[in-house]
Amino acid sequence: MNTVAEFIKQGWDPAQAAILVEVQKGVTVDAYQEAKVDAARLPLLRLVEGYEAKWPGIHYAKGGSRARKAMEIVLNGGLYRVIEADHNGNDLWQVGNHRCSKRGGWCDCKDEQAPVIVGYGKLCQHRLAVALKTNWLGDQHPELLAYLQPIIEKAPGAFVDLLIERDYDWHGEGNRARVAGYWHHGMSQHVRLTPLEIIPVTLPQFQWVMGQLGWALVDLPMKLAGFTDYYYRIAKGDGFPLDEAVFWHKGRTWQMSDRERMRRFQLRDIAIHLDAFVKSPLYVGLSSYEAGRVMQLHAQIAVNQEQALEVWEALPNTVKQFILENKGVEYAN
């Protein structure tokens, strides 16, 4: 940008130079705004090209494509999500004069030439506009980020369990996941979103959201009762690599975890009372790993007890006396 002095040096009189500086500011702002619009348009154009390559059938017979039309609709703000659901409980969108559903796969428009693809539904300009709108940022998911941010900020525990619904690949459209609620310490049961509030998420989007939050998956997905429900335990900091094998893991079940936990208690119990167990007529079946673990625990417990005794012996008599007089009853219990 030129200053007044520079314009004067170029031969303008001071009044004109001052005007030129002001005009220059306006021009720069316009250029900046245009650059911003282009930046928003570019990822959208990439998606359009991706759709055209994936489904050549979306081109119109007389030229152009339904995806290009859809892009204009999106850029003009010509669509919005309706609060109600369709009669199957799917999302509902108003696109121009037409109504359609992303999950439902249908549109009420008269575009009979639009291809209908298994797993994607009718690919008319209206549903492609919804696809563009909801995939606007591709691997980013600001809506999910906005949903999770306050939850993890106010969660009292070290972790949060996200309730995630998963569908397996039925028709070649790939596995699908939806964030459907959450649980954290202090809650008697998890929060479950209504079907309309549920937030679909792809793996790249989940990776992006976790990256933004600085949180990570810290355990394998935990399978809940039913077909679709999982808990995804997330916590601040590092965790599992969020690759496909981990994200789509078939999941541990509550029963598996419970069995493991009970077995651990059992082994610890045996370790503490090993002498009694050895002498008892009760038979306890242990694998060689478990037997080894019991011996290890037993040794550890013995060491701890010896250490406690050493510490006690080392205490001055006055201190021992004080503890016995004041806390004796509690310690005895």
Binding residues (CB under 5 A) for Zn ion: these are: 107, 109, 124, 126
Q: Which is nearer to Zn ion, 126 or 141 (CB)?
A: 126
- Which tokens is 112 given? 């009979």
Q: Which is nearer to Zn ion, 131 or 297 (CB)?
A: 131
Q: Which is nearer to Zn ion, 109 or 201 (CB)?
A: 109
Bridge partner list, 121: 117
Bridge partner list, 179: 164, 199
Query: Rounded to the nearest whole angstrom, what is the least distance from the CB of residue 93 to Zn ion in the complex?
Result: 10
Query: Rounded to the nearest whole angstrom, what is the least distance from the CB of residue 225 to Zn ion in the complex?
Result: 39
Query: Rounded to the nearest whole angstrom, what is the least distance from the CB of residue 99 to Zn ion in the complex?
Result: 9
Query: Rounded to the nearest whole angstrom, what is the least distance from the CB of residue 78 to Zn ion in the complex?
Result: 12
Q: Which is nearer to Zn ion, 61 or 282 (CB)?
A: 61
Residue 206 to residue 247: CA distance in whole angstroms: 9
Residue 251 to residue 229: CA distance in whole angstroms: 10
Query: Rounded to the nearest whole angstrom, what is the least distance from the CB of residue 247 to Zn ion in the complex?
Result: 33
Three-state secondary structure of 153-208: HHCCCCEEEEEEEEECCCCCCCCEEEEEEEEECCCCCCEECCCCCCEEECHHHHHH
Q: Which is nearer to Zn ion, 110 or 171 (CB)?
A: 110
Q: Which is nearer to Zn ion, 123 or 222 (CB)?
A: 123
Buried b / exposed e along 109-123 (16+ C-beta atoms within 10 A): bebeebbebeebbbb
Query: Rounded to the nearest whole angstrom, what is the least distance from the CB of residue 44 to Zn ion in the complex?
Result: 19
Residue 123 to residue 66: CA distance in whole angstroms: 8
Query: Rounded to the nearest whole angstrom, what is the least distance from the CB of residue 50 to Zn ion in the complex?
Result: 20
Q: Which is nearer to Zn ion, 109 or 270 (CB)?
A: 109
Output the CA–CA distances (angstroms, integers) from residue 228 to 3, 164, 168, 205, 225, in the order listed.
Answer: 65, 8, 9, 20, 8
Tokens 């030229």, residue located: 63
**Residue type for position 153:** E
